[in-house]
Amino acid sequence: MSNKLEGKIAVVTGGTSGIGLATAKEFTAQGAKVIITGRKKDEVEKIANEIDGIGIVCDQSKLSDIENLVTQVKSQFSSIDILFVNAGIVLFSSIEEATEDHFDRIMDTNFKGSFFTLSKFIPLIAEGGAITLLSSINATTGQSNSAIYSASKAALLALVKVGSTELVKKGIRINAVCPGPISTNLLAPAGLDNATVQKFASETLNKIPMKRFGKPEEVAKLVAFLSSEDAAFITGSEYVIDGGTNVNPIIG
Ligand SMILES: NC(=O)c1ccc[n+]([C@@H]2O[C@H](COP(=O)([O-])OP(=O)(O)OC[C@H]3O[C@@H](n4cnc5c(N)ncnc54)[C@H](OP(=O)(O)O)[C@@H]3O)[C@@H](O)[C@H]2O)c1
Does the CB atom of residue 245 touch ligand 1 within 6 A? no
Does the CB atom of residue 61 touch ligand 1 within 6 A? yes
Helix segments in the chain, DSSP class H: 18-29, 41-50, 63-76, 100-106, 114-121, 147-167, 194-206, 216-226
- Residue 194 within a domain: no
Please check the confidence at residue 15 and state whether its pLDDT lies above 90: yes
pLDDT of residue 192: 85
pLDDT digits (tens, 9 = 90+) for 219-248: 999 999 999 999 999 999 999 999 999 998
For the domain that residue 96 is a member of, what is the CATH number?
A: 3.40.50.720
pLDDT of residue 1: 67
**Cα–Cα distance measured from residue 185 to residue 187, given in angstroms and rounded to the nearest whole number:** 6
Does the CB atom of residue 214 touch ligand 1 within 6 A? no
pLDDT of residue 249: 81
Number of domains in the chain: 1
pLDDT of residue 248: 84
Ligand 1 nearest-atom number relative to CA 149 = 47
**Is the full-model pTM beyond 0.95?**
yes
pLDDT digits (tens, 9 = 90+) for 182-226: 999 898 878 888 888 888 889 889 999 999 999 999 999 999 999
Does the CB atom of residue 136 touch ligand 1 within 6 A? yes
- Residue 239 a catalytic site member: no
Catalytic residue among 27, 149, 213, 225: 149
pLDDT of residue 25: 98
Share of the chain above pLDDT 70, in %: 100
Ligand 1 nearest-atom number relative to CA 61 = 31
Question: Domain limits at 55?
Answer: 9-185+215-240
- Residue 208 within a domain: no
Question: Distance, CA 26 to ligand 1 centroid (Å)?
Answer: 17
pLDDT of residue 193: 87
Ligand 1 nearest-atom number relative to CA 110 = 45
Does the CB atom of residue 187 touch ligand 1 within 6 A? no
pLDDT of residue 167: 98
Please check the confidence at residue 120 and state whether its pLDDT lies above 90: yes
| 19, 40, 148, 239: residue to mutate for ligand 1 pocket, most atoms within 8 A of CB | 19
User: Which position has the higher pLDDT, 1 or 90?
Assistant: 90
Share of the chain above pLDDT 90, in %: 89
Does the CB atom of residue 105 touch ligand 1 within 6 A? no
pLDDT digits (tens, 9 = 90+) for 130-170: 999 999 999 999 999 999 999 999 999 999 999 999 999 99
Crossing angle between the packed helical segments 18-29 and 216-226, to the nearest 10 degrees: 50
Residue among 228, 181, 231, 175 at smallest CA distance from 201: 181
| 63, 184, 203: residue to mutate for ligand 1 pocket, most atoms within 8 A of CB | 184
- Residue 95 within a domain: yes
Closest C-alpha residue for ligand 1 atom 46: 88
- Residue 192 within a domain: no
Give me the count of residues in the chain: 252
Q: Which of 73-77, 151-155, 248-252 has the lowest mean pLDDT?
A: 248-252
If you average pLDDT over every residue of the chain, what do you get? 96
Please check the confidence at residue 19 and state whether its pLDDT lies above 80: yes
- Residue 61 within a domain: yes
Does the CB atom of residue 46 touch ligand 1 within 6 A? no
Ligand 1 nearest-atom number relative to CA 179 = 6
- Residue 150 within a domain: yes
| pLDDT class of 2 with cuts at 50, 70, 90 | confident
pLDDT of residue 142: 94
**Cα–Cα distance measured from residue 176 to residue 182, given in angstroms and rounded to the nearest whole number:** 16
pLDDT of residue 194: 86
- Residue 197 within a domain: no
Residue among 211, 152, 147 at smallest CA distance from 180: 211
